[in-house]
Amino acid sequence: MGKLTGKIALVTGASRGIGKGIACVLGEQGATVYITGRTVSQGTHPLPGTLGETAAEVERRGGKAVPVAVDHADDAQVAALFERIRNEQGRLDVLVNNAIALPYEMTQPGGFWEKPISNWEIFDIGARAAFVASWHAAQLMVPRETGLIVGLSGYVGVRYTYNVIFGTTKATVDRMARDMAIELKPYNVASVSLWQGFTYTERATENLKTVAGMANQLNSAAGSSPEFPGRVIAALAADARIMEKTGGSYINAELAQQYGLTDVDGRVIPSLRAERGGPLWGAV
């Protein structure tokens, strides 16, 4: 039995990348994992990965996955997702707000005024949709007085990375996690944001090939697998003293060292606090 046996989790944006990595780890640790995404069929997205493939990998590792096609820009679809979780499980123990829009222009050179206003979708999915999912999750968690809501952020919360909207989105995720924690704390529901550094996702690997100068800027020793944040989240979800951390933003590499975790290849992922800055918010 894994340390999350019997837990119900939801990971948004899990067709590929970090979301897939997190879902696989949570499932491997015994959780029933609901996963959302928009890619149902191969060939409909320029990058590899589908909801079905993520679900199959979770099941291959001994977990249970429930794939649900959801566009997190559509509030009605999100509401239907949580109603399904309520009807099928009657509870939700862990919500991981991972979904974000990553338009092509985000990693391209140029000022914000030179890029389409439609790039605001980064914020709409990365911040607003995270709030909507948290709103629904809290209604399942508060009555039971237990639960964990995780927002994915990064050094970009305090250090310019890629573009204006991306930084604005991640700084919002940090502050939202803190303020939600203040309101949820009386009900024993935890809320944190986690800072993930460079991750070898399908998108990042492609960017290394196509974005000028990106490979030269990367500290390859600090790069991690998409499953690394999942290991940290699994440890948090199993931590009986999680409320001592609620409201804070934490660097995954530092939490991993606290919990004695390594990446899938056994490497200790270094913190980049000294080079890129540290979180503004501590526990409440």
Rg (CA), the chain: 18
Assigned domain for 63 exists: yes
Cβ 17 vs Cβ 203: under 8 Å:
yes
Compute the distance between CA of residue 251 and CA of residue 228 in angstroms, rounded to an integer: 12
Containing domain of residue 200, as a range?
Answer: 8-276
- Which residue spans within the chain are E strands per DSSP? 8-11, 32-37, 64-69, 94-97, 147-153, 189-195, 249-251
Q: How many domains does the chain fold into?
A: 1
Q: How far apart are the first and last CA of the chain?
A: 33
The per-residue pLDDT for range 102-141, each reduced to its tens digit, is 998 998 999 999 999 999 999 999 999 999 999 999 999 9
Assigned domain for 263 exists: yes
What are the structure tokens assigned to 65, written together? 């996955």
pLDDT at residue 52 is higher than 60:
yes
* pTM over cut 0.85: yes
The per-residue pLDDT for range 226-263, each reduced to its tens digit, is 999 999 999 999 999 999 999 999 999 999 999 999 99
Assigned domain for 223 exists: yes
Q: How far, CA to CA in Å, does 268 sit from each of 63, 199, 250?
A: 26, 14, 16
What CATH number did the domain enclosing 128 receive? 3.40.50.720
Q: Which H or E run includes 139?
A: helix 129-141
Q: Give me the phi and psi of 94, to 5 degrees please.
A: -140, 130
Assigned domain for 283 exists: no
Assigned domain for 281 exists: no
